[in-house]
Structure 1
Amino acid sequence: MNKNHSGHYSVGMIAAVLISLSAVCPFASIHAAPSAVQENNLSSAPNHNESFQVPSTESMSPVVPPVSPGDVSSKPPTQQQGVPDEVKQTATDTVQSLSSQPPFASWKDAELSYHPLGPGTHSWLVQVNHAGEYIGYLIIGSDSNGAYQLNEYGNGPGGPYSMDVLRQSLKTLTETEFSSTDKLQITPMYEEPLLAYWLVRSSTGSQIGIDAVTGDPLPVEVADGSWKHKLQNNAISLSIPFLKTQAQAVTVSSEPFDPYDDLGWLQPKHKLSIHNTSQFMDILSNSQRMIFSATSINFAFGGPLSISGYQAWISPDHPSEPILYALTYHNGLSRFVPLQRLLSHGEFLHL
């Protein structure tokens, strides 16, 4: 499948194709072992995202000339050849450090596949695979200074950008949002603070965002970017170089729970006074079950989030300044997100 000048892949479809289609991956895969990147080998995506396939020309009306499934793995599109050395180094060091902790023991001999995320290629999805099975993911992005940081990571099934989830969502949207003859541009996107989604544009001019984890349609303000004015301007950047940090043991305060099972946390009296890392660790040790909410922009975090623990990363040069990733769960997936981004954009409440 070729890439057009705007950097998106164009996928022509009709409803019948969506029902029977095994997967159409809008971004190419570059596979690598943790120690080396096979940059000239574009192969099928890991099991988590199924295989990269293209419908036959009889069942699609592509905007760009179609290619047969046999041609897909011949060569990556020009814009996607190679992965930045900094991304590879960050991914390799992160996986090596995490694999020293029991929950991530299976990551030790994992293979990594790299997928660029829009807009641009400032963020990368790194899928972690072991023995041919998807076991986790990293999302690596660059900060305002161009240095790569670990935006989030997860252990287990159900990670973001699943082709199964996308296909099911598109089947539903074909019945409600799009014409069955629309040509769609589907682009994997990742934006701060923690917004992972597919941007779907129709040939008729309509567009919609689809949550890359749940497959749920996102507010219309996501597709046009107008939601960003709701972001607070007090974001805190990490001052410690992440490449020097080492993962510590995971601290678990409670079993997984759904914030919607008990909405008592919505009452103002349940608000917690948490403004820094120390307060978070102290209060979580007593409250055990905690909720993070960013009110009108919860969708940008995949929230509200149930917080059930954390993992600290410590630099040998700054042992008293741990970088914390809050632990939340989603359908068997242990997801770790930067505490500083939560502190910057929302509030914590207890059950």
Structure 2
Amino acid sequence: MKRFFHMCWNNARKTTCITLGLLSCLALFSFWSVANAEEQETSSLAPAAVQRFAEQQAVALGSVDTKAHWKNADLDFYPLGPGTHSWLVQAEFEGKPIGYMIITATEQGQMMLSEYGHGEQSPYNNELLGQALDRQHVNLEALLAGGGELHLGYTLPLLAYWKVEQPNHPALYIDATNGDVLPSEFLNLLEADSKQTSVSITDLSTTPSLLVDPLHLRPVFNPADNLLWITSKPVAADRAKDVIQHGENQEIVFSAGDRNVVYGGPLPVSGYQLWHTDQVAESILYVALGGKSSIQRFVPLSTLQQDGHFYIVNP
């Protein structure tokens, strides 16, 4: 049993299992055993190349904040469907969660840090899952006992979700970060496209050196509290980086329009962090989204600009 469920498993062994929402620890343990039994037959849930890549990112994150203990963290890996092109990496130090990463293999076989976060939060929130299942009148223990399955899913650019498969029923998709039920037609198409994509990971013998700047955080807010940003023009793509880095006194919203369902958005920009490599002259800007009513997630600016725009909230 990996650390992602250590709280539940350890408490179950002590016969003092804590209930997370409507999810009992027994149900969570059953889920991980059933949904990932095939992967757990091996000693690792990620290829060696993915593990090495994750270790490099953790060292880079640890170089800027030694108190966060990224350099000495224990990393646990969880394959994310469909097609296992991504992995959730939970980082812990001395038994306490310190952050997470999601690593994705691109169609070209290269690995990328799709997103990451600091602290105890994870994109896959068990309590929100329990609440969502309760609203849908689904009992997890009964589901698993009856041959149902529960899977962790992830699709670019930013959608972390649970897939609930019930015998003789259509699959149920739940946004892992907020508990919302997602449109099944949309997810079915995304999964079909992902399963058709074959990825062969390229294990490079030499990797670029990584340098990460300190975190720059901004006050968090709720975009719904002031909807005037909807009437403003989006920030020009070539100005977005400058606005995010230097607009300290401005509230900035990221919105992907019709694709907000993939982001759980619109979302507030709550900070940023710059990454540098010795092979790329230009730095990579990771934008922090959320942090007030949702988990704060650091995502590459280039990823966000593929689907959405940034808006400055008018006073």
For Structure 1 versus Structure 2, the TM-score category normalised by the shorter chain is: 0.7 to 0.9
Shift of 1:214: 1.3
1:222 alignment counterpart: 186
Amino acid across the alignment from 1:51: W
Normalised by the length of structure 2, the TM-score is 0.76
Could you list the per-position Cα deviations for residues 120-168 of structure 1 after superposition, in whole angstroms to 9, with x for gaps in the alignment? Answer: 2211000111222222110001011111110100112331123222222
Residue matched to 1:22: none
Change (3 A) 1:103 1:265: farther
Whether 1:128 and 2:88 are equivalent positions in the alignment is: no
Percent of residue pairs identical: 33
Could you list the per-position Cα deviations for residues 179-220 of structure 1 after superposition, in whole angstroms to 9, with x for gaps in the alignment?
A: 989753211111111111011122122222101111221123
Output one character per residue of 1:213-234: Cα deviation in whole Å (capped at 9) or x when no partner.
11221123333226999xxxxx
Preserved contact between residue 210 and residue 217 of structure 1 (Cα < 8 Å)? yes
1:301 paired residue among 237, 247, 263:
263
Q: 1:170 Cα shift?
A: 1.2
Matched, 1:51 2:51: no
**Residue 174 (structure 1) aligned with residue 151 (structure 2):** no
Task: Give the secondary structure class of the aligned counterpart of 2:223.
Answer: coil
Which letter maps to 1:134?
A: P
Q: Secondary structure at the match of 1:114?
A: strand
Residue of structure 2 equivalent to 1:237: none
Is the 1:155–1:333 Cα contact (8 Å) retained in structure 2? no
Q: How does 1:259-298 map to 2 (within 5 A)?
A: 259-267=223-231, 269-273=232-236, 275-276=237-238, 279-284=239-244, 285-286=246-247, 288-298=250-260
Moved over 4 A (4+): 179-183, 226-229
User: 2 CA distance for matches of 1:79 and 1:227?
Assistant: 20
Give yes or no for the alignment of 1:329 onto 2:294: no
- For residue 242 of structure 2, what is the amino acid of its counterpart? D
SS at match of 2:283: strand
Tell me which protein shows more strand as a share of its residues: 1
Report what 1:312 is aligned to: 274
Shift of 1:114: 0.7
Shift in Å, 1:251: 2.5
What is aligned with 1:204?
Answer: 168
Letter of the aligned partner of 2:259 in structure 1? I
Deviates more, 1:296-305 or 1:241-250: 241-250
Partners of 1:141 and 1:296 lie apart in 2 by 24
Equivalent residue number for residue 116 of structure 1: 79
- Runs of 5+ consecutive residues of structure 2 not aligned to the other structure: 13-28, 194-205
Give the equivalent residue in structure 2 for 1:144. Answer: 107
- TM-score, normalised relative to structure 1: 0.69
In the alignment, the residues of structure 1 paired with residue 207 and residue 274 of structure 2 have an alpha-carbon distance, to the nearest angstrom, of 12
Q: CA deviation at 1:293?
A: 0.6
Question: How much does 1:310 deviate?
Answer: 1.3
The answer to whether the Cα contact below 8 Å between 2:155 and 2:190 also exists between their aligned partners in 1 is no
Describe the shift of the 1:223–1:184 C-alpha distance in structure 2 as closer, same or farther (beyond 3 A).
farther
Q: Deviations over 1:268-319 (max 9, x none)?
A: x34221x24xx22322213632111111111212321211221111112323
The answer for the alignment partner of 2:20 in structure 1 is: none
1:317 maps to a residue whose letter is Q
Q: Which runs of 5+ in 1 are unaligned?
A: 1-27, 32-43, 54-68, 230-240
Q: Secondary structure at the match of 1:149?
A: strand
Q: What SS does the corresponding residue of 2:179 show, helix, strand or coil?
A: coil
Secondary structure of the corresponding residue to residue 160 of structure 1:
coil
The answer on 1:105 being equivalent to 2:68 is yes
Instruction: Answer whether contact 2:229 2:311 (CA < 8 A) is retained.
Output: yes
Alignment of 1:80-99 (within 5 A): 80=40, 81=42, 82=44, 83-99=46-62
